[in-house]
Amino acid sequence: MFDFKYYTPTKVVFGRNTESKVAELIKEFGGTKVLIHYGGGSVVRSGLLKRVTDTLDAAGISYVTLGGAVPNPHLGLVYEGIELVKKEKVDFLLAVGGGSAIDSAKAIGYGVANDGDVWDFYDYKRTADGCLPLGVILTIAATGSEMSDSSVITKEEGLVKRGYSSDFGRPRFAIMNPELTMTLPDYQTACGCTDIMMHTMERYFTNGGNMELTDALAEGLLKTVKKNAVILRDDPKNYDARAEVMWAGSLAHNGLTGCGNDGGDWMTHKLEHELGGLYDVAHGAGLAAIWGSWARYVYKDCLPRFKKFALNVMEVENKGTDEEIALRGIEAMEDFYRSINMPTNLRELGVKATEEDLVTMAHKCAVGVNGGKGSAKFLREEDMLAIFRASM
Ligand code: NZQ
Ligand code: ZN
């Protein structure tokens, strides 16, 4: 077991109608002028944005709004947000939406609190000294950005998708009302469940310093999401299932399931970020499409963990060699993806990549991880290319 740091400063307010608390939470964290940042309009159509602005009006909190954060959010809008915040003397950011709006808001916060080009942080050129305070009203259970230290932005020029992590970017509060996720298209619900599970699996498939308690939490979380993803497929308005998945989303990416291990593998995410950058696919679907190929490429180098996963999470039969059990676990996971209409390869994802595209993605991925990365198995550019090829 390794030493670890666990830091989760986000105040979580969870349950029905909790969005009505937004004004008092902003005041509690010192906000006087707010930028409300949101996505492509789902919060307008659902009436949530209006309820939020009415609440701020009633509390005498002034605000400006900026919508348009697209899935795989763009750097251009981040720059626009930074200018707007400076011009309007905004002192608090409120993201209303999913990972894309939250990540875009975090980037705006870094850009305002630090001089120079905010992309430098995503380009690993320097680290941030602060971030404008941020609160969240979450509308999709998926990325865990509402409690995480990360933010993922796509630079339009060259379609480069990169993440930056800093404790400064962790939201001050997260309002989580599972009912707000009931307007999600089924596909996005399934993408969210996939992403939540992947955040835990990235930390589970490691070759360094594992901890029994962390494993138990991770396995419990994975089984809970797996079960409730199927419930939501058949009954999307099931409040309890929405709530289980929503809380799992936060715990999957606030560091809890990484305590004591080596920090995780993260190569499935890195490979997916190339897909998201180039083909603009939904993050969760991209992860499902690449995971099986990654797993088959690495499992022999991380056999005890793949066996444990197969038995404890996928609950396959404990029969045969360790390799056979591990492979049955991978197959069972792919069956689960299919059962919630997630893709298990790039064709099913709708990506028609040429060999040249695969080479480009593998190269960009290798550059993005400084040559190589991975704990289940350390992967270099040629390994990344082999996995992309296998996922076709
Ligand atoms: O943009 P709007 O109109 O709001 O529509 C969104 C979008 O089309 C829609 N949606 C969200 N809530 C809804 C809703 N539609 C109806 N009703 C609702 N209640 O769903 C679509 C997806 O939203 P988005 O915010 O893009 O989803 P998600 O939360 O999955 O975020 C994806 C982004 O986060 C990054 C991903 O790479 C991707 O760019 N990630 C961020 C992480 C982090 N910050 O910690 C970690 C993750 O691994 C991930 O990389
Ligand atoms: Zn993710």
Q: Which domains does the chain have, with CATH numbers?
A: 11-180 (3.40.50.1970), 184-390 (1.20.1090.10)
Confidence at residue 392, expressed as pLDDT on a 0 to 100 scale = 94
Confidence at residue 23, expressed as pLDDT on a 0 to 100 scale = 98
Confidence at residue 208, expressed as pLDDT on a 0 to 100 scale = 85
Asked whether residue 379 carries a pLDDT value surpassing 90, the answer given is yes
Residue nearest to atom 38 of ligand 1 (CA): 72
Residue 167 to residues 2, 112, 164, 227, 374, Cα–Cα distance (Å): 20, 16, 10, 32, 23
How far is ligand 1, taken at its centre, from the CA of residue 39, in Å? 8
Confidence at residue 209, expressed as pLDDT on a 0 to 100 scale = 83
With the most atoms of ligand 1 within 8 angstroms of its CB, the residue from 38, 70, 103 to mutate is 103
**Atom number of ligand 1 nearest to Cα 284:** 30
| Helices and strands, counts by H and E, the chain | 16, 10
Q: Which residues contact 291 (CB under 8 A, 6 or more apart)?
A: 198, 201, 268, 333, 337, 344
Q: How far apart are CA 199 and CA 193, in angstroms?
A: 10
Q: What is the mean pLDDT of residues 8-37?
A: 98
User: 69-121: per-residue pLDDT in tens?
Assistant: 999 999 999 999 999 999 999 999 999 999 999 999 999 999 999 999 999 99
As given in the structure block, the two tokens for residue 354 are 């040429």
Q: How far apart are CA 201 and CA 222, in angstroms?
A: 8
As a whole number, the mean pLDDT across the chain is 97
Nearest to 143 by CA among 82, 98, 95, 190: 98
Q: Which ligand is nearest to the CA of 152?
A: 1
As given in the structure block, the two tokens for residue 52 are 């939020």
Nearest to 162 by CA among 83, 265, 284, 272: 272
Share of the chain above pLDDT 70, in %: 100
User: 193-246: per-residue pLDDT in tens?
Assistant: 999 999 999 999 999 888 999 999 999 999 999 999 999 999 999 999 999 999
Quote the crossing angle between the two packed helices 322-339 and 212-234, to the nearest 10°: 30
As given in the structure block, the two tokens for residue 257 are 């399931």
Q: How far apart are CA 307 and CA 327, in angstroms?
A: 8
The three state secondary structure string of 219-287 is HHHHHHHHHHHHHHHHCCCCHHHHHHHHHHHHHHHCCHHHCCCCCCCCHHHHHHHHHHHHHCCCHHHHH
Nearest to 210 by CA among 279, 257, 277: 257
Nearest to 288 by CA among 269, 305, 308: 269
How far is ligand 2, taken at its centre, from the CA of residue 25, in Å? 27
Confidence at residue 109, expressed as pLDDT on a 0 to 100 scale = 98
- Band the pLDDT of 385: cuts 50, 70, 90: very high
As given in the structure block, the two tokens for residue 232 are 């939501």
Q: Where are the beta strands (DSSP E) in the chain?
A: 11-14, 33-38, 62-66, 92-97, 134-138, 150-155, 160-165, 173-176, 372-373, 379-380
Q: Which residues line ligand 1 (CB under 6 A)?
A: 39-43, 71-73, 97-101, 103, 139-140, 142-145, 148, 150-152, 180-181, 183-184, 188, 192, 195, 253, 269, 276, 283
